[in-house]
Amino acid sequence: MHPKGDWLTVSQYSEGRAVFWPLRKLYPSVVDGYTPILKPVAFSSNGQWLATSWSDLKLRLWPMPGTGLREPRTLELPETALWTRIVFDPRGRYLFAVGNSDRAWIVPLDGTRPRRLPLYSEDTLLWAGAVSPSGRQVATAWFYGPGAKTLRLHDVETRNTRVFPLSTASASLTNTDAAYEGAVSRIGFLDETTVYTSGWAGLRRWDLERGTSELVAANVDFIGFLSSDRRLTLTGAAVAGRDAQPCRQLQTRDLVSGKTGAVGRPRVCAGDSSWSAQAAVSGDIVAAPSVDGVLVGRLSADTAHLLVGHEGRVTGVAVSPDGGWVATSGEDNTLRLWPMPDLAKPPLHTLPHDELVAKLKSLTNLRGVRDRESPAGWKVDVAPFPGWKEVPTW
């Protein structure tokens, strides 16, 4: 190891070579063992913690680099659940978590006793969870199962719960549609008296004082707020993809004027209509799963950066409040923490061929070369490491 920590040198006895690895660049941190079917991720508003569930179905807090915190914390609850959504209180006092069997818990972060919201049905799956801007209210709603199809608002201070019936359609439905009729997959607080929900019944605005709701747009998913006044939102709209297969595409929506607009990148249309449920936004940065990995970029950019590493589908995405990190989880049972790419520079995969090859050669001493004797027609050649006159920063 170089005394400054910039280089690691590894000798290879069988090859008679020494390989030099640059350590100045930040690489993703990968933690194996995130094995539940659903793998939510969420950053705290102060950027100190990344919250997840884990293989034991408990809630876990992971300290972020640079905070001075080193050990993960496991939050103790009287019961476990298959958690579907985890949300931090904006003031950092508690974690709100929802899951299967109608589980909805407020978990204080100071170690005091957690409490569970009133139970409606042991067979109900909750998918959506939100905390109001002041942190005084939490919200969840029915997603699937025989329980009451309701939107529920709970006052953290008074412990009072208000219940609103969800909108359903009277038209004939397929068996699949009927099972999810009225389902809510996302909730967002505009303020303390206005809530937006999205799901089977489209994007709806709720007046909590009057107990009424109105349809804002059909076939639109709420993803997150883009402006400090919470007027501008990011949504996923239904569009036709390849071979006329339905999929979602990101768009901006002004909640006051109703005006919508297309965003630059990422644009995802992979035939999976559920992808937008995993998209995440922080400021003007958005990250979303794709068939190739995770796309991340600014809404105004023409092209997104691609984070590659997961094997299989990406199931959870979060962007830190300061825009410095992306957290992901996937079907490969890993939790990954990615340093945010330099969004001011073009993504690696968009460079012209010659420039891309030159940059790749500067990053490694491995070469793919033609080999007629190889079954694949190629072999890996270990060439002398080129090194750098100046260590690159990309």
> What integer pLDDT is reported at residue 72 of this predicted model?
94
Domain membership of residue 139 (yes or no) is yes
Q: Which candidate, 124, 128, 122, places its Cα nearest to that of 140?
A: 128
DSSP 21: E
Q: With contact defined as beta carbons under 8 Å apart, do 223 and 233 qualify?
A: yes
Domain membership of residue 115 (yes or no) is yes
> What integer pLDDT is reported at residue 197 of this predicted model?
95
Q: Which candidate, 292, 290, 233, places its Cα nearest to that of 267?
A: 290
| Domain tally, the chain | 1
Inter-residue long-range contacts of 62-71, CB under 8 Å, 24+ positions, other chains counted: 62/31, 62/335, 62/337, 64/320, 64/325
71 three-state secondary structure: coil
> What integer pLDDT is reported at residue 273 of this predicted model?
42
Beta strands in 229-313 (DSSP E): 232-240, 246-254, 260-262, 280-282, 285-290, 293-298, 305-307
Domain membership of residue 205 (yes or no) is yes
Q: With contact defined as beta carbons under 8 Å apart, do 143 and 123 qualify?
A: no
> What integer pLDDT is reported at residue 56 of this predicted model?
93
Domain membership of residue 365 (yes or no) is no
> Which residues span the domain enclosing 77?
29-350
Task: For the chain of 394 residues, list the mean pLDDT of each consecutive stretch of 10.
Answer: 79 73 73 94 95 95 90 93 96 96 95 92 92 97 92 96 79 56 92 93 92 90 86 80 63 88 58 56 87 84 86 91 94 94 87 82 77 87 69 57
Helix runs in 145-247, H state only: 175-179
Q: pTM of this prediction?
A: 0.81
> What integer pLDDT is reported at residue 55 of this predicted model?
93
Domain membership of residue 38 (yes or no) is yes
The CATH number given to whatever domain includes residue 111 is 2.130.10.10
For residues 237 and 251, what is the distance between their CA atoms, to the nearest angstrom? 7
| Tokens encoding 373 | 């004797």
